[in-house]
């Protein structure tokens, strides 16, 4: 894969993270309680960290990119996210975050399956693994905070 194609893929991934940052910023304006705003601000900051991680990947050579195996708790597989509202609670916010990461992971996995170039596949699978890592974070939070209380 040439450097131009590599950068285009990273640019695409960065765009998606910037969209996520804006999404969480918009939700912060929507919710009523400071605790919800603080949680959403944490998510916004995580997405900013994802942009930094992507920029770090951009600096790597393809040979240096590995694809970590990430545990899947599969909690989000059985959930449906409701549209965001000003009345949403902690569980709603976590569910939305999980489903967004799940969708991003699925997108990158599907993109990897649609290309023939093994290096591009590897890059998409690495991006998919990063999204899986983010989803695991939210699934663990859900498991610890929501399911533990039930």
Domains in the chain and their CATH numbers? 3-149 (1.20.1260.10)
Predicted confidence at residue 20, as pLDDT, reads 95
Tokens, residue 85: 């509202």
Stretch 112-137: mean pLDDT: 92
Tokens, residue 32: 């009523």
Rounded CA separation 137/142 (Å)? 9
Rounded CA separation 145/113 (Å)? 35
CA distances from 124 to 41, 48, 107, 117, 129 (A): 27, 20, 9, 11, 9
Stretch 134-149: mean pLDDT: 91
> Each residue of 61-115: pLDDT tens digit?
777 788 999 999 999 998 998 899 988 999 999 999 999 999 999 999 999 999 9
> Each residue of 23-35: pLDDT tens digit?
999 999 999 899 9
- What number of other Cβ atoms are within 10 A of residue 77's Cβ? 10
Nearest to 9 by CA among 133, 130, 111: 111
Predicted confidence at residue 3, as pLDDT, reads 82
Rounded CA separation 2/12 (Å)? 16
């Amino acid at each position: 894969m040439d450097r131009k194609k590599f950068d285009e893929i990273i640019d695409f991934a960065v765009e998606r993270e910037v969209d996520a940052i804006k999404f969480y910023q918009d939700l912060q304006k929507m919710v009523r309680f400071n605790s919800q705003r603080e949680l959403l601000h944490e998510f916004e900051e995580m997405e900013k960290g994802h942009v930094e991680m992507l920029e770090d990947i951009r600096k790597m050579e393809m040979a240096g990119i590995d694809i970590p195996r990430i545990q899947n708790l599969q909690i989000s597989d059985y959930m449906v996210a409701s549209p965001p509202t000003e009345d949403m609670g902690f569980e709603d916010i976590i569910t939305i975050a999980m489903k967004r990461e799940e969708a991003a992971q699925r997108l990158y996995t599907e993109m990897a399956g649609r290309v023939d170039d093994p290096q591009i596949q590897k890059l998409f699978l690495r991006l998919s693994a990063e999204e899986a890592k983010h989803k695991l974070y939210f699934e663990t939070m859900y498991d610890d905070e929501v399911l533990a209380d039930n």
